[in-house]
């Protein structure tokens, strides 16, 4: 991975696989492992997955290619990239920076829960398969006052430390070991979960759509989840794409990254939902689903404690390789445009995110009676504003800027390295960026307002 830290000569990714891993590292995170299973559980299982897939194909791949192409063309941060295409549109990058700011503030709270579960798994405290006990344990953690805030602080400090030091050698090298490690572990655990007695109901719940469960709320959640999971709509892939060399195959990368991301999300779903049915939980139980079902599955496995420790470590790593990309989008902007020192920018932004995150954390406990948007507590409101409003809005504006302001001809020229590589779907992609993406996002927005 290139050193995002330097400001003299702009560096590039070490290798093609280095970019794919770093971009997948950004995409694969708590969104896949924690959020996807509970979103699916909450939104009728198969109905959600079906809508997710449709949006992934129509909007996900399309915008992934658009963001990476825009980034490589301009070789700039999110705001700088829009500004270079047209001064009038620089604010779109600004919306992205705001989204990143909001997301990391509560993302870090969840990252903190993961750290706490690593410690719990070392102590053997998780070796129980009783639904009540595990649910109670999770509720105690997130409903507490100080404990979750302390872990939230630890996660934020870890993220800040990596970003201050530059994400150079460390992350690219470790990604090469840890990402495949995550994949292998998740397959093993999924096999165990799917073979639990009673698990078949969970597999069916996740994979067989019940069409009557598809409501506008489900579609809006799926749209938000595609953006969140693929790290789209806030300039994150613009920033990562800006470190690409001119000979990378963008159409290929934009296909591989979403495939990896979706594969991990589905596997996470195939761990959590079968376990939900096997142990008799409610699929709609919400954000605790991963933290309650995983320990129950581990308790049913040989070397369960060891698996728990390793697995929660891998989740932490996946979360960190995403959180650094969120922080980097904000930091890159402040460093470039306000000419602030990197360490100062990271400290200031990190501290502010930490403070907002405190409220998100408390809203699962002492502040749970405060509701902001549609009965949602602070935590869920932040997620709703960022994932379901700011990211899709950022995606809509990205379509307009790339499709109409910059123009798909120029974009395709960049994406195909001046016609040197094949991109047979280019005409289809143009239609998706110019018409399908903007229209689909607008319709979902308008419908969900009514």
Contact positions toward ligand TRP, by CB under 6 A?
26-27, 29-32, 103, 228-229, 231, 234, 236, 322, 325-326, 391
Nearest residue to ligand TRP, scored by beta-carbon proximity: 31
| CB contact burial 273-310 (16+ within 10 A = b; e otherwise) | bbbbbbbebebebebbbbbbbbbbbbbbeeebbebbbb
The residue among 278 and 327 lying less far from ligand TRP, judged by its C-beta, is 327
CA-closest candidate to residue 98, choices 355, 349, 371, 445: 349
The residue among 101 and 281 lying less far from ligand TRP, judged by its C-beta, is 101
Shortest distance (Å) from residue 236 CB to ligand TRP: 4
Shortest distance (Å) from residue 232 CB to ligand TRP: 6
The residue among 26 and 43 lying less far from ligand TRP, judged by its C-beta, is 26
Under 8 Å CB-to-CB from 132, ≥6 apart: which residues?
Answer: none
The residue among 164 and 234 lying less far from ligand TRP, judged by its C-beta, is 234
The residue among 318 and 401 lying less far from ligand TRP, judged by its C-beta, is 318
- Torsions phi, psi of 180, nearest 5? -60, -35
The residue among 240 and 279 lying less far from ligand TRP, judged by its C-beta, is 240
Shortest distance (Å) from residue 324 CB to ligand TRP: 9
Shortest distance (Å) from residue 234 CB to ligand TRP: 4
Cα dist from 257 to 2, 24, 168, 435, whole Å: 18, 6, 20, 24
The residue among 388 and 408 lying less far from ligand TRP, judged by its C-beta, is 388
Shortest distance (Å) from residue 371 CB to ligand TRP: 24
Shortest distance (Å) from residue 100 CB to ligand TRP: 6
d(CA 330, CA 235): 10
Q: How far apart are the first and last CA of the chain?
A: 45
Shortest distance (Å) from residue 382 CB to ligand TRP: 13
d(CA 158, CA 115): 11
Shortest distance (Å) from residue 389 CB to ligand TRP: 13
Is 296 within 8 Å of 129 (Cβ atoms)?
yes
Tell me which residue has tokens 């919400």: 286
Helix (H, G, I), strand (E, B) or coil at 282: coil
Tell me which residue has tokens 């794919």: 20
CA-closest candidate to residue 328, choices 130, 442, 159: 159
The residue among 214 and 257 lying less far from ligand TRP, judged by its C-beta, is 257
d(CA 69, CA 25): 19
């Amino acid at each position: 991975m290139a050193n995002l830290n330097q400001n003299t000569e702009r560096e590039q990714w070490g290798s093609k696989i280095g970019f794919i891993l770093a971009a997948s590292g950004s995409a694969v995170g708590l969104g896949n492992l924690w959020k996807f299973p509970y979103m699916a559980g909450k939104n009728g299982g198969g109905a959600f997955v079906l809508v997710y897939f449709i949006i992934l194909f129509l909007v996900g791949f399309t915008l992934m290619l658009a963001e990476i192409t825009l980034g490589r063309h301009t070789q700039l941060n999110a705001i700088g990239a829009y500004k270079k295409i047209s001064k009038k549109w620089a604010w779109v990058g600004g919306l992205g920076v705001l989204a990143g700011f909001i997301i990391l503030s509560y993302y870090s709270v969840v990252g903190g829960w993961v750290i706490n579960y690593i410690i719990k798994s070392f102590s053997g405290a998780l070796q129980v398969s009783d639904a009540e006990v595990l649910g109670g344990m999770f509720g105690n953690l997130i409903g507490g006052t100080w404990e979750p805030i302390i872990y939230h602080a630890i996660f934020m400090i870890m993220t800040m430390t990596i970003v201050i030091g530059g994400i150079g050698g460390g992350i690219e090298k470790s990604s090469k070991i840890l990402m495949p490690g995550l994949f292998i572990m998740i397959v093993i655990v999924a096999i165990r979960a799917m073979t639990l007695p009673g698990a078949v109901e969970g597999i069916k719940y996740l994979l067989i759509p019940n069409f009557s469960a598809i409501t506008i709320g489900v579609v809006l959640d799926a749209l938000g989840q595609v953006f969140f999971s693929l790290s789209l709509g806030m300039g994150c892939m613009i920033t990562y794409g800006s470190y690409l060399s001119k000979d990378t195959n963008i159409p290929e990368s934009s296909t591989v990254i979403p495939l990896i991301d979706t594969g991990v999300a589905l596997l996470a779903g195939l761990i959590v939902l079968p376990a939900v049915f096997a142990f008799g939980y409610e699929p709609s139980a919400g954000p605790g689903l991963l933290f309650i079902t995983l320990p129950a599955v581990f308790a049913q496995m040989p070397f369960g404690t060891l698996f728990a420790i390793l697995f929660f470590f891998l989740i932490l790593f996946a979360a960190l390789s995403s959180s650094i990309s969120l922080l980097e989008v904000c930091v890159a902007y402040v460093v470039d445009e306000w000419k602030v020192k990197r360490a100062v920018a990271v400290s200031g932004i990190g501290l502010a995110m930490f403070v907002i995150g405190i409220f998100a954390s408390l809203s699962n406990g002492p502040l749970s009676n405060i509701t902001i948007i549609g009965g949602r507590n602070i935590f869920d409101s932040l997620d709703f504003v960022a994932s379901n409003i700011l990211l899709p809005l950022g995606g809509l504006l990205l379509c307009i800027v790339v499709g109409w302001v910059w123009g798909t001809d120029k974009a395709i020229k960049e994406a195909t390295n001046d016609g040197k590589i094949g991109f047979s779907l280019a005409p289809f992609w143009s239609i998706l960026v110019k018409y399908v993406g903007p229209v689909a996002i607008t319709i979902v927005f308008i419908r969900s307002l009514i």
